[in-house]
Amino acid sequence: MRKFSTKLAPRGAFCLGIAVGLSAAGVLLGDGVLITLGLSAVTLMLCCYFLGRSNLSKLEADISLPHKCHANKPYKPHVVIKNNRSLLDAFHVKLYLAFPHGSLLASQSAWVPARSLSSADLPISIPMRASSLEHPYKFSSTFPLGLFRFSSRQMLHHPLTIYPRNIIPSELLDEGVSGQCHHPNQHSSIQHVGEPRSIRPWQPGDAAKNIHWPASIRSLAQGHTLRVREFDPPGLLPDQATLVFHSFSAQREMMREDAFERAISLTAGSIAHLRNLNIRTTLITDFMRWNPLPARSRSQYYECLSILADAQRAIGTELHELQYALDEISENQQIIIISDMPPEAWQDLIRIPDSVIIIDIRQVHFPFKKTVSAKEALTQSA
């Protein structure tokens, strides 16, 4: 649905004032010249009004952006402005395309020929996870003469899923998935202790001593982040692991939205890290009503990320539900528990084996602020 709006620019207000003044003076003084000048100014403004609205009619926007992206990762989509008119060209058109969390793409085209298009590659990075089917966008222009500010709002149909950030918990990087060290059995596999595995992008909480400077210099020269060495965790690695996510707390802790976002990012990072170690991983969460979600194959992993992108915090998680979910997990699996509540608010109330790894989300503080919606960002655009 296209919505047009027109506002009088300061230059237009000045021109309108002159037109009214000349017409009024001509009537009072009986001067036909002043009346003619006033009517000419009004006619000029009317012509600019109709020409300006026609300038934005039958314009459409399109974008070539993957339907599934990662949060806080830079992309450079191809943005297109289409002129579907058969005769009239479009001049001095600005495009504002809004995405979740206030991410805004702004493009400007001085000339879009009729039955043709104008395109540009623009950088964008969406800071947080999200899922959206439609994205509002706006065309604006002051053509001609800058007397009016014309705008046309429309919706772009482009399903988009933003996966959460992948932040690997320090408990898995420093200690490794070492729960099986306490109870080694035939289901465990041995890896060398502390051998370098690969080089990966820097994440909050990484030690400075692990920075790979030659790779970081090349990465920074290309506009990316630092690179750090990734080591194999020490000890014996389990064949299977279950990651349990919950929001239970026995204390009256403040429910912080940023805590839930950090917990989701650490959950996504844990799943990715376990998959890189070839550990068959299953996710159990209270916001999915404790239904197990395997993340073993590639398709299962991305399905899990899609669910995390839409996840909403569970309200009213009870102790017996969490305990029952933990008791149902097989003994030969490594259990990893993560919560958006502090560990001291719940870990003493549940029965857990000594080999369980508890992840504290307070280890990382990535920038978080209450972002505006796509429509609000579009309204605030220049």
pLDDT digits (tens, 9 = 90+) for 162-171: 999 999 998 8
| pLDDT at site 246 | 95
| pLDDT at site 258 | 83
User: CA-CA distance, 217 to 239, in Å (whole number)?
Assistant: 37
The count of other CB atoms within 10 Å of the CB of residue 201 is: 14
| pLDDT at site 229 | 81
Cα dihedral 192/194/197/198 (nearest 10): -170
What Cα–Cα distance (Å) separates residue 309 from each residue in 138, 172, 301, 347?
Answer: 27, 23, 12, 27
pLDDT digit string, tens, across residues 16-46:
999 999 999 999 988 889 999 999 999 999 9
Q: Is the dihedral of CA 306, 307, 310, 313 positive or negative?
A: negative
Six-digit token pair at 221?
């020269």
Q: Which residues contact 149 (CB under 8 A, 6 or more apart)?
A: 6, 7, 8, 9, 140, 141, 142
User: CA-CA distance, 228 to 5, in Å (whole number)?
Assistant: 51
Of 86, 252, 267, 238, which Cα lies nearest the Cα of 169?
267
Residues 250-275: b if buried by 16+ CB within 10 A, e if exposed = eeeeeeeebbbbbbbbbbbbbbbbbb
pLDDT digit string, tens, across residues 339-355:
999 999 899 999 988 88
| pLDDT at site 365 | 78
Q: Which residue has the tokens 């060290």?
A: 181
Of 138, 204, 159, 223, which Cα lies nearest the Cα of 365?
204
User: CA-CA distance, 222 to 200, in Å (whole number)?
Assistant: 15
pLDDT digit string, tens, across residues 274-307:
998 889 999 999 999 999 999 989 999 999 999 9
Q: With bands split at pLDDT 50, 70 and 90, how would you rate the model's confidence at 376?
A: confident
| pLDDT at site 253 | 64
| pLDDT at site 49 | 95
pLDDT surpasses 60 at 378? yes
Q: Which residue has the tokens 């029952």?
A: 324
pLDDT surpasses 80 at 193? no
Residue 5: exposure state from Cβ atoms within 10 A (0-12, 13-18, ≥19):
exposed
| pLDDT at site 352 | 87
User: CA-CA distance, 96 to 85, in Å (whole number)?
Assistant: 21
Six-digit token pair at 124?
């964008």
Contact (CB, 8 A) for 198 and 277: no
Six-digit token pair at 199?
């080089």
| pLDDT at site 235 | 55
| pLDDT at site 377 | 76
Of 73, 58, 142, 130, which Cα lies nearest the Cα of 98?
130
Higher pLDDT, 227 or 179: 227
> Structure pTM?
0.77
| pLDDT at site 179 | 45
Of 256, 259, 261, 307, which Cα lies nearest the Cα of 285?
307
Instruction: Of 149-153, 190-194, 252-256, 350-354, give the range with the top mean pLDDT.
Output: 149-153
Six-digit token pair at 341?
């509540």
What Cα–Cα distance (Å) separates residue 192 from each residue in 189, 210, 231?
Answer: 10, 18, 10
Six-digit token pair at 321?
């539900």
pLDDT surpasses 80 at 232? no
